[in-house]
Structure 1
Amino acid sequence: MNEDTARLSLKIERLEALLAVTKAMVTQHDLDKLLDIIAHEAANIVGAERASIFLVTSDRRALTSKIAIGMEETGLAFSIDAGIAGYVARTGEVIVSDDPYGDERFNPRIDEETGFKTFNLATVPMYGTDEKKPGPLGVFEVLNKKDGDFSEEDLEILLALSGQAAVAIENARLLAELRLAQDKLDRENTRLRQRFLKEYAFENIIGIAPAMTELLSLASRVAESTANILITGESGTGKDLLARAIHGRSPRAEGPFVALNCAALPESLLEAELFGIEKGVATGVEERDGKIAQAAGGTLFLDEIGDMSLATQSKVLRVLQEREFTRVGGSETVRVDIRVIAATNKDLKAEIEAERFREDLFYRLDVVELCLPSLRERREDIPLLAEHFLEVYRLKSEKDIKGMSQEAHDVLVSYTWPGNVRELQNEIERAVALAKPGETIGQEILSEKVRAAAPSPLRPMADAVRALETGLIARALKESEGNKAAAAKLLGLSREGLRKKMARYEIKL
């Protein structure tokens, strides 16, 4: 009966040891401290003088001691080909020895270095859960049982504890990898944020024209508020650039800037992209956040909002009024904290009159309106912008372009630029692509449509009058279908006066 009681007591002690280790794994995140607890429990429960945990190096050529209970040396390292610990690490076998010095696999060098005498030992492998990694990730070894030799029960507890240690080691390594990855992401995010703030700063927006400087001054002031902003202007005027500059100057600069072009997607896809979608809405559809959720704590930029359907407009209005939304296919209300900057090239008041845009949404967006001038309204900025784009594409193409001639500048300034800054950018990119290394970009390299706007050179007045009158007469004759009397009447001339001019300019029907 006493023997049964002793066995039961031993089992209870061992279960308590496993429980202590399990609790430690939940509460202790320091790997060294956790392995120290495991090794101590192992030494205590089997009655060993020493307990060591050895880890296999990444190249699987050596073992290093991670934890050594009962000895001061914890930095031991030796070849995986040496000793019983090395043998277990290579083969995965369990070794129990009552006469280590009689075992040819035993390495006495460690005893010599530590001044410790090994009388018996038990060594078990530690296997991780990653099947792709060959062999044990380390070994668990106990030395010199204080009362007799190591038993089968001792091996059972050692194997159980080695499994716990292996899980702890794997978790610690995964956590370390995650921290490294997170640190890398944090550094990259910081770098990108700094680059964003620098690249899209107000100071980098080119403009000396009064219309532009006044706009930038106003935009800079309202950027520091929390007010929603509506940016208007023709296509290609730089609404996206201005929105990013406002975000970078705002209290939300550390948060995300998320942009969505409302004209680029059909209504069904636009709502999913904007509000997100629940899993299972359609076959193969997974849950994902929309642009609104992604912009939490930052700025949501809705470009071309004038192209948004009335149905979607009503849902955006809810976001602006209540700061909440529901995913497509979902029923749960999601709260969100965002600032909205909207942009359009349309006259939203006219769209309201035509019942294509909600008036209540307009006034929610139009807290502050910033109207970007067209490029033809800021012609003094054209040479500056042209030189800026020239430098951008010169560096990108690695061409040694000397610059741009004054004649080319004059032609660029004369053109009306219906596509605004974006069209100018494309024109300069084209010119750089066509230019030869080492040359200066002249007006002849510019596209035909741009050159056609070039101012005509001065010529003698007689030639100019001749060209003007010839053109007018030809047009009048065309409109009157060759009837000279009718053409003369259109021109305010007598029939004889028209005949003389036709003779002078040698105009024949």
Structure 2
Amino acid sequence: MDLTILVIDDQFGREPSMQQMLESTLLDFPARLHYCTGQVEADGERRNDLGVAVAAVGDDNRWSLVLLDMHFDSGPIATDGLPQGTLGDDRFGIRLEQELLRCFPALPLVRFTSSHERELDVGGPPRPFLSKLQAKAADLRLTLLDHGRLTPEQRRLLLKIPDDTVVSSPELFKVYTEAMRLARTDDSVLILGESGSGKEHVARYLHAVSAHASQPFVAVNLGSIPPTLVETELFGAVRGAYTGATTRTGKFAQAAGGTLFLDELAAMPLDKQPVLLRVLEERRFTPVGSDRSVEVACNVIAASQDQLDGIAAAERLRSDLLARFHHTIRVPPLRDRPEDIDAILAHELQAAQQSQGKQGMVVDPMVARGLRGQPLLRNARDVLAVIRRAVALRPNNSVIRWEHLALEPTPTLPDEVRAPADASHATASLTDDHPGSWCERLPLRGALTAIDDLVFRMKVQTALRALRHCRHPVSGKIRVLPAMQLLMDDPRLTSMAAKRLLNQALGHASTRPLDSDELVRMIKMSVEPRGD
């Protein structure tokens, strides 16, 4: 769905030619701009009017962003069509801003005025600001990402995230937003994160959204290069530089015009770090055996799986070399962004099926639940490994359950809950007996966890049953809204709320897009015997 942006401005709101100019300058992505003057005209006079702008906003949930001019020209209209009274009235702009935020406290409001008027004295903290004189499409894009009201799909669109990159959690969206901001500069960037957390994905993204995207992206793992060959690998060598040496192009030269990614920076030998430091400072390097220096013509991004304090404490990286990386991006581990697990599971399941020629598989919702409590799975790479193994061992059109992942039982679950002969068996009979007698049979150790798991399974099965009950009788189409209205006994439930509730019932992130084909497979398998 296109973004909707309201521009409240006395000039842009009135002049179609100015609107066209604004849209050609600010839009390079799908969006619709709507305009309001914030004024009324009567008796040959143009008057500022709070009510006009409040009425234009109407419902604050409608807008992805509201751009508010702070200076309005009003007064008698001259022969040239312009008002000749109060010009540049920022007092009205301030009052209008306050009135809009009073009526719509959650309104995504950004000031839209001249660059030298970033802060107006309104007796409060400075408001977000977009310059009329200097703003380009990239500035509006970042303003939307920082201050707009966006769906995950709209956020992905603005960030230009590739389809093969899984980004679902707010934490990871922040990482990619910061990467897009830094891609507008040529500064060196250091990316920190645990092994497999996605540092190279972020580095490639930085390159892809930069001005150098059409040029080479060259990656080198410094930890895999023998110390004696570090300079040759990075800077190249000329024929005869050492015994048996032939002319060799180094990574810096290979990345000319593009981006050089130095992975595992902290693994670089300390005695070789001054050479890299000098190259980053002087922006020139000298191939081994040569007496001629070459200009560095690439951006440099580095990564390390160590945190800065750990690097400093272990003295593995020179402080002056660290200082040459002007910006730092931290990629959180998967355990700190559990919202990404559902998206990673869906993505890796599809990728594993395609690579192995399989089809029709679905993942039991309990798998994502179990992975959230599995400390051994630290990152997406680990999830990919267990899913690939499970897909290889399972037939087409089957359900992948926790036991198929060949992992240890979730450590947070006690033995009685894991064992089918005890708590798991007891919970299965909850609906057959009076709750009092069932509770007496349930082992006390881990009882609340067992009950929680049972309630979760009941929610999943009940949601699938409702979807099955409300399928279209002819086409078989999945109808989420009537199913959730039935379960909630609320005919006023909206479509968006219904999708959110279904995702929650299935144990997914509430904003995850619904896949009709996946729901059909889950419904089918929910009524089949579990003998697998």
Length-normalised TM-score, structure 1: 0.50
Task: Answer with 1 or 2: which has the greater Rg.
Answer: 1
The structure with the greater share of residues assigned to helix is 1
| TM-score for the superposition, normalised by structure 2 | 0.47
